Amino acid sequence: MKWIKWFLLAALVLVLSACAVDKEKPKAQKESEQTIEVTKVDSVEEEVVEEPIEVEKQEILYELNPANWTFKPTGDANPKAVLITIDDAPDKYAVEMASTLKELNAPAIFFVNGHFLETDKGKANLKAIYDMGFLIGNHTQTHANLKNSTEEQQKEEILKVNEIVEAVTGEKPKFFRAPFGVNTDFSRALVRSEGMLLMNWTYGYDWEKQYMDAAKLTEIMLNTEYLTNGANLLMHDRKWTSEALKDIVEGLRAKGYDLIDPHTIKGIEE
């Protein structure tokens, strides 16, 4: 009987030891899992930390001469350079023209009219031009002659375009060009207060009947007496202009002209 008693006592000790081991095992596993979770959280926190992006500012190379609307170098930039501008965008051919210019690595300003931006298609065309890297200019809402408009009408003509361009692209126009080249004291002051650079042009021909042909337009744009250093070239969103654009750009370069990047013009820096 005595040996039975000792046997039962030994069995009890073994059972109690096994229970103690089982109790410790989940605790160790749980602590290990907690360690893993903390490690994972720390890893995620490290992944979402981003370095600030530094935006490189464009060097100012040219400034506008308001006496004749040409551009001159501010420093060592090539004086033999011209600016390309496209008015009345985006009507029918502006996106095509922007694509042509982008393929040629040719910078330009697209001056937009607000009445072309009232539809989803018009807004999409504006965004497409902007996304190709081109700066946008304000050419008024309805292409009105500001001289024949009241101050309130002038204000609406200019500010409405700024509002919609900013809503679509996230950036207000940097330049302003009045229809027919006609400004008023009020429009000049308003443009200045909006932080835009006012400009007209040196020459353009594509609205004249005799140059509504790609070949004839190319010929006059490249051989006019007004093609000089710093010339401000005016063209429009027109079929014949779109067809002539590649030859005009290549012809200008063949004559030794650089094309002014509007981002480098004095007066638009923030």
Percent of the chain with pLDDT over 90: 77
| Pick from 104, 62, 68: nearest CA to 81 | 62
Distance of CA 109 to the CA centre of its chain: 11
∠ CA(219), CA(242), CA(229), 5° rounding?
50
Q: What is the pLDDT of residue 49?
A: 41
Percent of the chain with pLDDT over 70: 78
List pLDDT tens digits, range 194-230: 999 999 999 999 999 999 999 999 999 999 999 999 9
- CA-to-CA separations, 170 to 63, 95, 99, 119, 124, in angstroms, rounded: 25, 19, 21, 18, 13
